[in-house]
A and B are shown apart, each in its own frame.
Chain A
Amino acid sequence: MSRKKGQEKIFEIKWKTDLPYRYSIGKLAVKFFEELKKNKKIYGSKCPKCGKVNFPPRAVCADCFVEMTLSDMVELPPKGTLEGFTVVNYPFVDPQTGGMRPFPYGYALLKLDGADTYTMHFVNETDYTKLKVGQRVEAVFKEEREGNMGDIPYFKVIKEEE
């Protein structure tokens, strides 16, 4: 909360509290995180009716409302294309931590090779003049993985031979 010049000092009480939630991510996401943790692999889900490949994996096709099961999961390469990007350069409280989200950071909309849907993630570039729509990117994996999205801390921009 900001206080404007000349405003008198307000009485403030600060406290921190834990707000634990249980959130069911579903069978497909469980497999995704198991494969990510154990084998450094990325899995999406493929609609058995229309063939649309979803990454992140989802349990129901948004187009045909058909349910996907574990047998509809397909491995995807860790490489993809930058469809959109920005460099976030403003302060805000991160509800994940209760503290400030570190900035600036590269933020991207990307599409893995073989996927038909987009995903948002970090990209390790904070100079926007070095980013371009259509650039190739690759997932960077942590060596000690825990089975959460932090196992892929960011995507890095790569150069590829044509």
Chain B
Amino acid sequence: MDHFEGINFSEMWCGIESAPGYLKPVVKVATGGTTGSSLAICGYYNVASGIYKNILVIGWEKLNEGGATTGIITAFDPVWERPSLAGALGPLALMAGMYSAKYGITPEQAAKVTVKNRSNAANNPFAHLQMPNITIDYVMSSQMISYPLRLHDVCPQSEGACAIIYANEEETKKITDNPAWVKSVATSHYYTFGTDDKMYDLPTATMASKKVYKKAGIKDPIRDLDVAEIYEPTSWSELAWTEALGFAEPGQGGKLLDEGITQMSGELPVNPSGGVLSTNPIGATALVRVAEAAIQVMGRGEKRQIPDVETALAMGFGGSLWTELLILGKEKLR
């Protein structure tokens, strides 16, 4: 993203010719953490509207070349917020502490998210941090980087890219007999100042999920979804935001995990890919959620495949505390 690498025309740096976009219309979309899900939704609109038959959507990031924390600070209010803001992790740490204080969620419960996701990542050849033998103790004894967030409660900085082909119904037949169909999409915004939202109850996730569930005919997400790829920049976020998405009542995200519902073998596995806690090339991160949801629907997940996936949810979360959601399915929405 231009903002993080500190360069202009980042699409040129990523190699339009190799994309291959040479002499073809190119649109750049950058919305912070949600970049990947904005790309996914724009890709869907471009094809579903009938403007294009076939398009390639690419998300990428080379965090080694820039400073994400510095870039993120510049996105916030220069007078009231920038002086004390410490990028994304500061507010995510505030959120984790408030969530813990309100509902009694423990660091052990948060550590279990990292253990789940990074051991899932060991089944994903594309994941950055693959830790098949990770333990709760290992997470809980890692360095405190912003209380209550320890090093392993937090996503890494990754380099990477992700690409998805969108095609209309006719073109799809030429590409595959086993596509993933987009059933519904939603974007929700909320705040003026970052402090309008305490983040653990992420109102935009609740707003967006109500919209996508309604459009896709989902009444009970635990029952009607088969897998979810959610955007969890920290272990605590996964617990809190599974609540915001309606998987559990407020304060019950820890219980949801403790009961094994979000584990690989559970009723609604969350992040079989290893999630953001394992891989975080920011401009690609939310597109990876969509790609992984599509991989699950298409049955191409190999060691990370959940059996018989009909319907999958993908989530993007971004700096202005907005949420974007997509529901993909084996069956077309009629």
Question: Which residues of A pack against B, CB within 8 Å?
Answer: 1-2, 21, 23, 25, 29, 56, 58, 62, 83-90, 92-96, 101, 105, 107-109, 117-122, 128, 133-134, 148-150
25 A–B pairs (Cβ distance < 8 Å), ordered by A: A1-B64, A58-B192, A83-B98, A84-B198, A85-B94, A85-B97, A86-B93, A86-B146, A86-B148, A87-B146, A89-B147, A92-B67, A92-B69, A95-B74, A105-B84, A108-B94, A117-B193, A119-B193, A119-B195, A120-B84, A122-B83, A128-B144, A128-B147, A128-B148, A134-B101
By the criterion CB–CB under 8 Å, are A90 and B146 in contact?
Answer: yes
Q: Are A119 and B94 in contact (CB under 8 A)?
A: no
Contacts A2-B64, A90-B145, A118-B198 known; 13 new A-B pairs at CB < 8 A: A23-B78, A29-B79, A62-B191, A84-B95, A84-B198, A86-B94, A89-B145, A90-B89, A92-B70, A95-B71, A95-B82, A107-B94, A122-B83
Please measure, in the bound complex, the distance between the C-alpha atom of A35 and the C-alpha atom of B93, giving whole angstroms.
Answer: 32
Are B101 and A107 neighbours in the complex by a CB distance under 8 Å? no
Q: B65: CB under 8 A from chain A? A: yes
Contact B97 A149 (CB under 8 A): no
CA A92 to CA B91, docked complex, whole Å: 15
Q: Which 9 A-B pairs have the closest CB atoms?
A: A86-B93, A128-B147, A84-B94, A92-B69, A133-B101, A118-B195, A84-B98, A88-B86, A93-B70
Decide if B84 touches A92 in the complex (CB within 8 Å). no
Tally of contact residues, B, Cβ under 8 A: 40
Residue of B nearest to A86 (CB): B93
Residues from chain A with a CB closer than 8 A to the CB of B65 are: 1
Q: Which residues of A contact B93 (CB under 8 A)?
A: 86, 88, 107
Tell me if B310 is interfacial: C-beta within 8 Å of chain A.
no
Rounded to whole angstroms, the CA-CA distance of A134 and B101 in the bound complex is 10
Q: Which residue of A lies closest to B82 (CB)?
A: A96
A120 to B327, CA, bound (A): 35
> Do A101 and B86 touch (CB < 8 A)?
yes
Determine whether B301 belongs to the interface, using a CB cutoff of 8 Å to chain A. no
Residues of B bordering A, CB below 8 Å: 64-65, 67, 69-71, 73-74, 78-87, 89-91, 93-95, 97-98, 101, 144-149, 191-196, 198
A residues less than 8 Å from B82 (CB atoms): 95-96
Q: Which residues of A contact B198 (CB under 8 A)?
A: 83-84, 109, 118
Given A87-B146, A90-B89, the answer on whether A56 and B80 have CB atoms closer than 8 Å is yes
A65 to chain B, nearest CB (A): 11
Q: Is the CB of B87 within 8 A of A133?
A: no
In the complex, chain A residues whose CB is within 8 Å of the CB of B148: 86, 128
Nearest Cβ distance between residue A142 and chain B, in whole angstroms?
A: 14
Query: What distance in Å separates the Cβ of B269 from its nearest Cβ neighbour in chain A?
Result: 31
List the B residue with the shortest CB-CB distance to A122.
B84
